[in-house]
Amino acid sequence: MNVHESAKLRHMLCVAGLEIATSQSTADIIIFQTCSIRDTAQRKALTHISQAIKLKSSPFNKGGARRAGVFSPQICVIGCINKPIGGVDIQLGTNQLEILVEKLTGTRPDTRFGMDNSIIITHGCENFCSYCIVPYVRGKEIHRPIEDIEFEFKEIVERGTPRVIYLLGQNVNSYPNFVGLLDRLCKIDGDFTLNFLSSHPKDFDRTLVECIARNPKIERNIHLPMQSGCDKILAAMNRRYTVAQFREKVDLLRARVPGVHITTDIICGFPGETEQDFQQTVAVVKQIKFDAAFIFAYSPREGTLAAKMDGQLDTHEKKRRATKLIEIQRSLSSSGKS
């Protein structure tokens, strides 16, 4: 989503008359599109912002110029980082791209246009998974009008290049009547394939599976984040489904959508996860045989419930479990589903 929003911001600024600088050292405006979902992402963003602030205030820039005719850059920060940053000229939160464009150019942009091969259909999240900061930094769900989504989708299709077009959202299938939206978009004439990211298993029901089955324009690559194969850990994560319910959805997908490829996300070493809990996840991974899995060692995120939970595991153990599961998944992927 950040890649999409950065491209959209760049487009709006160019339409308003600005030009993309060839480097940071020659820019009059430096914009940081930030993500703070993980601590590492936030630390990296703050480091780059700090470097830009130092460049602006360095002796080389005294008098307001880096060189003749070029003034110190205006530094703008937009996105998930919501704590005040000293030395920044403009700081805005999420879903405020248009406000930034207006502040920088004095014009209010038209936000309805097809961008690359993706369309954000919903902003924010109300799931409150205990390890995730998104609901706190992106706020409640805001669903875009279906007419705007269809307008942007048609723009992308009409460019004439066969491509996969993605619908994006923190919980994309919580969009009201998501199945109706997919059916409507699949009726558009053109050479395209449709996909969506990221789905929450609790909202991935039979009606959605049947929609995928009857619409050949929907890509047969489905990402369904499991996160854990242990019911105790899923409950602690506030995921609101059980392992059995997750497996039922996978079985239904494979039964109704021949040739479907299913990928997933898994967190290892969540607070309170015992070795036995981890082995339950290993067993489920071996049983389901995902086509691919993105496996992470749990990283505490300040501001989330999980960061305050008892039973925090040490870094070595979390990485050991993640490494072990990655090795198992690789062996499953290389051997196929036979």
pLDDT at 280 over 90: yes
Pair 241, 201: CB distance under 8 Å: yes
CA 184 – CA 157 distance, rounded (Å): 14
pLDDT digits (tens, 9 = 90+) for 98-110: 888 888 988 887 6
Q: Among the listed ranges 9-13, 76-80, 271-275, 300-304, which one has the minimum average pLDDT value?
A: 9-13
pLDDT of 200 > 80? The answer is yes
With the C-alpha atoms ordered 216, 198, 78, 97, is the resulting torsion angle positive or negative? positive
**CA terminus-to-terminus distance, the chain:** 35
- Winning range, highest mean pLDDT, from 35-49, 82-96, 106-120, 254-268: 254-268
Q: CA-CA distance, 275 to 93, in Å (whole number)?
A: 40
pLDDT of 62 over the 50 cut:
no
Two structure tokens written together for 199: 């789905």
Task: Evaluate if residue 214 carries a pLDDT over 90.
Answer: yes
Residue with more model confidence, 281 or 88: 281
pLDDT band at 271 (very low <50, low <70, confident <90, very high): very high
**pTM to 2 decimal places:** 0.78
What pLDDT sits at residue 82?
73
Going by C-alpha positions, the residue among 236, 228, 225 that lies closest to residue 312 is 236
Question: Mean of the per-residue pLDDT values for the chain?
Answer: 88
Instruction: Determine phi and psi for 145, rounding to 5 degrees.
Output: -60, 140
Q: Are the C-beta atoms of residues 150 and 184 closer than 8 Å to each other?
A: yes
Cβ(1)–Cβ(46) below 8 Å = no
71 pLDDT higher than 70 = no
Looking at residues 258-270, what average pLDDT do you find?
A: 97
Average of pLDDT values for 126-138? 92
| Domains defined for the chain, CATH in brackets | 2-105 (no CATH), 112-219 (3.30.750.210), 220-333 (3.30.750.200)
- Helix, strand, coil tally for the chain in percent (to 5): 45, 15, 40
pLDDT > 80? residue 38:
no
